[in-house]
Structure formats: structure tokens, C-alpha cells
Structure 1
């Protein structure tokens, strides 16, 4: 049963990350002609297109992507609960799903920042994935960089963002009972 739980968890989490990336790409108005962006759009378009007919965007916020992300987590929880033979409470599923989407967004941001920092040491020329990571993370790094400029060629803004993210993670785990378990 552990192997099936791992497989279900991994498949749903990977698709959840693609849906979060879809929302994030639209929020920062990233380059949608980038091959990485095209993959994200093609992977989510069959589900998001019909949802957009029912759920209109609110300004620059794509509500259908947010709802799809929550539904992906709810479907994952439902499948895992049924596999375990446990009972479920609808309100708990909804709350847990919203918290899980927030937590996965933070995890995705962490990995993107880490990969971007490592690739900045080796990147030679244009790379579409590096460009998209830059477009996705720069709105969060730029304000920090204005306060703490690079010191001797060393950019500490990513480190400051890591510390802030860790602080928020610890803070939320104190006040939201199941935050640490997601």
C-alpha cells in the first residue's frame, strides 16, 4: 500500500505544481512563448478552458487556476482517504486543501530560487527555463535587492528571502494545526 500511496501522492503533487505555475505565470505576466510556459499551458488548458467559462478572472487573478489547484489537492486527499479506508469531513478537506496549496507554492518557490541560484553560477547564454525562473522569482527578490544591494558582487537577496520563508513556515506551523504535516 505504501508504494501506491507514494505514486498517488507524487502524481497529484506534480500536477499541482504545474497548476500553481500556470497561475504564477499569469500573475507575473511571464513570457508565454517560452517553451517551458507552453508546456505548462498545454498541460493545464484542457481543464482550465472549460472552468474559465464558469469562473471568470478577477482582475489579473485567474480564479479557475486557484480553484483547480484546490480541487487537485482535494482529489488527492479523497483518493488517499479511500485507499486508507478512512472517513473524511468535507470542511476539513477544504481547509486542508487551501493550506496545502499555499504550502506547495512555498515549496515550489524555494526550489525555484535554489535552482536559479545554482544555475546562475553555470549558465552560459540563453536558457528558457532559467529565463522563466527569473521572471517568476524576480518580483519577490527585487524589493529585497533594493533594500540590501549586492555586497562585493554577492547578492544576498535570495538568502534573505529563504530566511523570511522559513520564518513564515515556522510561524504558520504554530497557528495552523496541520501546517507542518503537509
Structure 2
């Protein structure tokens, strides 16, 4: 079986690692902002909402609110799913990619 030679710099690995890492960090900042009731008046929160909503909204539809305190666990479900996807993508790539 043919194995492609490793690249001089692992471009795809870095893109996957830091791209998904940036999404997780953006979700964390947005979650902390929502805990302190910082709404979308601020441009950075609007930017983070537009960046993370495509990932959080489908999980929010499935999970919904939990318990008597109406906890929104969609952030944690999405965070776990992104970390699993990142791990699977990095493990499936050839060495040096």
C-alpha cells in the first residue's frame, strides 16, 4: 500500500488542531459571557455567536434545558463532540500531514 511522504510542515494537523481549538475557546468565552449576562450589544459577542451558533443550536434542539434550574448543557455536548471529532481526524491522518 502506498503511503505518501510526510510534508515538511504538518499543515493539515495544525489547521485541525488550532481551528477546532479556536472554536472551543470561542464557545467557552461565549458561555462565560452568557453567565454574566453580557448580551449581543457588543461586537465581539455578536461575532462569537455567529461563529458558534451553527454548532450549538443543533445540540440545543436535541438536549434542551435540563433540571429545575433550566441548565443549558448544549455547550458541553458540543464541546465534547468537537474534541472527539478533532481526535478522530488527527488519528486518521497519515504521519506528517
Fold shared per TM-score above 0.5: yes
Q: CA RMSD in A?
A: 2.3
More helix by share: 1
Structure ID, larger Rg: 1
- Return closer, same or farther for 1:165/1:124 CA change in 2, 3 Å cut-off: closer
Normalised to the residue count of structure 2, the TM-score between the two structures is 0.75
Counterpart in 1 of 2:63? 148
Q: Within 5 A, what are the aligned runs for 1:84-95?
A: 92-93=7-8
Q: Within 5 A, what are the aligned runs for 1:25-174?
A: 92-93=7-8, 96-125=10-39, 126-151=41-66, 152-174=69-91
Gaps spanning 5+ residues in structure 2: where? Answer: none
Give a deviation string over 1:34-76, Cα, whole Å, max 9, x none.
xxxxxxxxxxxxxxxxxxxxxxxxxxxxxxxxxxxxxxxxxxx
Q: Distance in 2 between matches of 1:164 and 1:178?
A: 25
Gaps spanning 5+ residues in structure 1: where? Answer: 1-89
Normalised to the residue count of structure 1, the TM-score between the two structures is 0.43
More strand by share: 2
Q: Distance in 2 between matches of 1:108 and 1:114?
A: 10
- Return closer, same or farther for 1:149/1:97 CA change in 2, 3 Å cut-off: same
Q: Distance in 1 between matches of 2:96 and 2:65?
A: 38
SS of structure 2 residue aligned to 1:93: coil
- The 4+ residue runs of structure 1 with deviation greater than 6 A are none
Q: Within 5 A, what are the aligned runs for 1:6-25?
A: none
Structure 2 contact 13–90 (Cα < 8 Å) conserved: no
Deviation at 1:104, TM superposition (A): 1.4
